[in-house]
Chains A and B, each alone.
Chain A
Amino acid sequence: MYKYNDFDEAFVRERVAQFSAQVARRIDGSLTEDEFRPLRLMNGLYLQLHAYMLRVAIPYGTLSSRQMDQLAHIAETYDRGYGHFTTRQNIPYNWPKLPDVPAILSDLADVEMHAIQTSGNTIRNVTADHFAGAAADEVADPRPVAELIRQWSTDHPEFQFLPRKFKIAVSGAKADRAVIKAHDIGLYLREQDGELGAQIIVGGGLGRTPMVGKVLKEWVAFEDLLPYLEATVSVWNLLGRRDNKYKARIKITVHEHGIEEIQERVEARFAQVKQAFGGIDTEMLREIETHFAAPAFRNAPTDAFDSAYETDPVFRAWADTNLSAHKAPGYAIATISIKEPGQTPGDASADQMRVMAELARQFGHDELRISHEQNVILPHVHKSDLPAIHAALKEAGLATANIGLVSDIIACPGMDYCALATARSIPVAQGIATRFEELKLEHEIGPLKIKISGCINACGHHHVGHIGILGLDRAGVENYQITLGGDATEDMVIGDRTGPGFAYDEIVPAIERILFAYLDLRDGPEETFLDAYRRLGMAPFKDALYPPKEEKANAA
Chain B
Amino acid sequence: MRLNFTFFGMLLLGLGLYQGNAQTAEEWFQKGNTAYTNAAYKQAVEAYLKSLEEGEHSAALYYNLGSVYYRMNAVAESIYYFEKGLALAPDDPDLNNNILFAKNMTVDAIEELPQTQVAQFQSKFLSVLSLQHWTWLSLLLFWLFALFMTGYLWFQSSRVKKQLFVSALLFGTLGIAAYFAANTKNSQLQSEQYGIVFSERIEVNNEPNRRSEIQFTLHEGTKVQILEQFQEWQKIRIANGAEGWVSDANIRSL
Q: Decide if A and B are genuine partners.
A: no
B residues neighboring A (CB under 8 Å): none
A residues neighboring B (CB under 8 Å): none
